[in-house]
A and B are shown apart, each in its own frame.
Chain A
Amino acid sequence: MRIVAKGLTYVYNPKSSFATQALKGVDLTIEEGEFFGIIGHTGSGKSTFVQHLNALIRLTGGELKVGDYDLADKKCKVLELRGKVGMVFQYPEYQLFAETVKKDVAFGLKNFNKGISEEETDAAVREALSVAGLNYDEVAEKSPFELSGGQRRRVAIAGVIVTKPEVLILDEPAAGLDPLGKKELMELLHSIHGRWCRTIVIVSHDMDEIAENCTRAAVFSEGKVALCGTPKEIFSRGEELAAMGLDVPVTARAAQILRAHGYPVDTDFTCDDFVKKVLALYGGAGAETAVPPAEEAAGAAVPPAGETAGADGAEGGAGDAE
């Protein structure tokens, strides 16, 4: 389902002294099949925006279409839409409530499909748990509270994907997990993407996470979309991001400094790509001798003995890069 927002506005507590305009005209299109990232610091309007996508916040200004559902239309079938646009909140493991994992995962499914049989429910729960990386036979009859934090988060995700939503929205899905837990969670989302949910939208503060995982991203600032494009396009605009109080990924920052020194390193994103780029330069520099500006090189120490061997190795690396 394609998501198209035009001139979306929203005011919290209208007509009161606490009135805050959270959205001030959001124009954004998310294509079907994307792994889309939404960035922005607290109060930028990003959560207000995503809550519009499955009508948790009803449209009050502007246009919003999610697939064929027109949210400006008062007769829009909201319940049906919610079955197709799944939402995983921040720290979803705190929202588990049922006595068993199975009942918790089945809750949404039963709500969206009144009269679904026990067998069907059971099969769907089994499948959702397995997609979320959990073993049904091991966890289904357990209380969610007997599981570890990481497992609980997976149960919460299973409880949303069990309805097979076409769009899956996750607010800070990896927050609070340790580095390996984060990596595993992102791998889980990639395995869900395409095969299970056509479109994934993640809200994240972690620029490296966005850079490494998303096809495109939008930066929210003061209730509007300030930047939108591929991670490469977004993170090459480091100054603008800094002005909005946002970081750029480590690789983009390092690349920026290298470019300032006259080295043609593109703003590239995964750490491994960056390594390849630098090694290609290093191999090149070794072969052609002193391409870069020479002023500072004069002050540098005599190359260590291992240098030549290193350059050879690097050329091998550069070859791999191509």
Chain B
Amino acid sequence: METEQLANAPAETLPQDGTEAPAAPLPAVCFENVKYSYDEEEGGEFAVNGVSLTIAEGEFVAVLGRNGSGKSTLAKLINALLRPTEGKVTVFGLDTADTKKAFDIRKSAGMVFQNPDNQTVASVVEDDVAFGPENIGLPREEIGRRIEYALDAVGMTQFRSATPSRLSGGQKQRIAIAGVLAIQPKIMILDESTAMLDPKGRREVMDVVKKLNREQGMTVILITHFMEEALEAGRAVVMHRGEIVMDGTPEEIFARADELETYNLTLPRAAYICKRLQQAGMPLKNAFDAEELAEGICASLQRG
């Protein structure tokens, strides 16, 4: 109760001139100096420690960082699974500290988790996808349309009558994504959703996510340990001990290799090789995948 009031207070007293300015669209996600501690009584360590971050609608943001750096906490703060200990989180202007708004916030920010086996609730694919829309009390015909749309968007229409437990990991995650899509959120948060998949499954999920971002303007927040996946995003954010320590395009981030290393993150392998060659004096453009790297090396060798 107390924390709720505290968090609410600034929201009401703030002179909201920023948001009331006529043309400025509401950001999809806005963190204002947010702190979160799992251990409120002790006032111990903050899992998220003073994060300010604005994500515009339609952005594709990768969140990187070691295990325990606060990435998942950040994700849970977005869709009001957690509420800030200090500071304020808004999702399209809705304050997550306002418990009455939680429902609306979760409708606009859907979350896909890591384990494909923990996210299915029904024994038939289409029932599973229908779970969300049923929960928000949509009429029957609309639920039908949503299932249609969601399964089509993830390329799983032909599996609508299948049993989720008999699908591959990648397929299960696509069903989980469809379940989120059926709510028609504007933001999709993927919390290491590709970690348990094989390369093929990972590609399937990434392709679906990229398509949603590109074609439907879906705001995507992708938490990942795969540096290669971050390259597919438009923006990458690095977390370290609960703070955002780097923020830029993936190319900018990976160009700052030494800094990344201090946060115990590695470069994508191709970028690492490229950097080593550059350090040895080979004139190369920054490369982030095998093709770019090989082309760069060829060009450089030909000049030599």
Which B residues are CB-close (under 8 A) to A281?
301
Given contacts A178-B225, A282-B304, A297-B303, contact A250 B289 (CB under 8 A): yes
23 residue pairs A–B, Cβ–Cβ below 8 Å: A41-B198, A41-B200, A42-B200, A148-B68, A149-B68, A178-B65, A178-B264, A179-B225, A247-B199, A249-B269, A250-B289, A257-B291, A275-B280, A282-B300, A290-B304, A293-B302, A303-B283, A307-B283, A307-B303, A307-B304, A310-B282, A311-B304, A313-B281
The answer for the CA separation of A311 and B277 in the assembled complex, in Å, is: 11
CB pair B225–A177 under 8 Å, yes or no, is yes
- Decide yes or no whether A229 CB sits under 8 A from chain B: no
CB pair A275–B276 under 8 Å, yes or no, is yes
- Decide yes or no whether A272 CB sits under 8 A from chain B: yes
5 tightest A-B contacts by CB?
A310-B281, A257-B294, A297-B302, A313-B281, A253-B290
The answer for the CA separation of A149 and B65 in the assembled complex, in Å, is: 15
Give the residue of A149, A180, A250 whose beta carbon is less than 8 angstroms from that of B266: A180
CB pair A245–B277 under 8 Å, yes or no, is no
CB pair A254–B290 under 8 Å, yes or no, is yes
The answer for the CA separation of A281 and B201 in the assembled complex, in Å, is: 37
CB pair B281–A312 under 8 Å, yes or no, is yes
CB pair B276–A272 under 8 Å, yes or no, is yes
- Decide yes or no whether B53 CB sits under 8 A from chain A: no
- Decide yes or no whether A155 CB sits under 8 A from chain B: no
- Decide yes or no whether B33 CB sits under 8 A from chain A: no
CB pair B195–A271 under 8 Å, yes or no, is no
Given contacts A180-B66, A286-B304, A294-B302, 19 further A-B contacts (CB under 8 A): A42-B200, A176-B225, A178-B65, A178-B67, A179-B264, A183-B266, A245-B200, A251-B273, A253-B291, A257-B291, A263-B297, A263-B298, A278-B273, A285-B304, A290-B304, A292-B298, A303-B303, A303-B304, A310-B280
CB pair B294–A251 under 8 Å, yes or no, is no
The answer for the CA separation of A90 and B293 in the assembled complex, in Å, is: 33
CB pair A254–B301 under 8 Å, yes or no, is no
- Decide yes or no whether B270 CB sits under 8 A from chain A: yes
Task: Report A249-273 CB contacts with B as 1/0, cut-off 8 Å.
Answer: 1110111111001010000000110
Task: Report B65-88 CB contacts with A as 1/0, cut-off 8 Å.
Answer: 111100000000000000000000
Task: Report A296-310 CB contacts with B as 1/0, cut-off 8 Å.
Answer: 110011011011011
Given contacts A181-B67, A278-B282, A311-B281, contact A176 B270 (CB under 8 A): no
The answer for the CA separation of A207 and B293 in the assembled complex, in Å, is: 18
The answer for the CA separation of A67 and B282 in the assembled complex, in Å, is: 51
A120 to chain B, nearest CB (A): 35
The answer for the CA separation of A263 and B299 in the assembled complex, in Å, is: 12
CB pair A274–B67 under 8 Å, yes or no, is no
CB pair A317–B280 under 8 Å, yes or no, is yes
Range of interface residues on chain B?
35 or more
Which B residues are CB-close (under 8 A) to A148?
67-68
A222 to chain B, nearest CB (A): 14
Task: Report A157-199 CB contacts with B as 1/0, cut-off 8 Å.
Answer: 0000000000000000001111111010000000000000000
Task: Write the chain B residue with the least CB distance to A291.
Answer: B301
Give the residue of A205, A261, A263, A304 whose beta carbon is less than 8 angstroms from that of B198: A205
CB pair A42–B264 under 8 Å, yes or no, is no
B120 to chain A, nearest CB (A): 17
- Decide yes or no whether B295 CB sits under 8 A from chain A: yes
The answer for the CA separation of A179 and B198 in the assembled complex, in Å, is: 17
Given contacts A251-B273, A271-B272, contact A180 B264 (CB under 8 A): yes
CB pair A304–B273 under 8 Å, yes or no, is no
A150 to chain B, nearest CB (A): 6
Chain B residues 247 to 304 lying within 8 A of chain A, measured CB to CB, are: 264-266, 268-270, 272-273, 276-277, 280-283, 289-291, 293-295, 297-304
The answer for the CA separation of A17 and B289 in the assembled complex, in Å, is: 45
Task: Write the chain A residue with the least CB distance to B261.
Answer: A180
Chain B residues 192 to 213 lying within 8 A of chain A, measured CB to CB, are: 192, 195-196, 198-201
CB pair A42–B168 under 8 Å, yes or no, is yes
Which A residues are CB-close (under 8 A) to B119?
none
- Decide yes or no whether A1 CB sits under 8 A from chain B: no
The answer for the CA separation of A176 and B67 in the assembled complex, in Å, is: 9
B42 to chain A, nearest CB (A): 15
- Decide yes or no whether A7 CB sits under 8 A from chain B: no
Question: Which has the most chain B C-beta neighbours within 10 Å: A254, A272, A300?
Answer: A254
CB pair A250–B290 under 8 Å, yes or no, is yes
CB pair A306–B277 under 8 Å, yes or no, is no
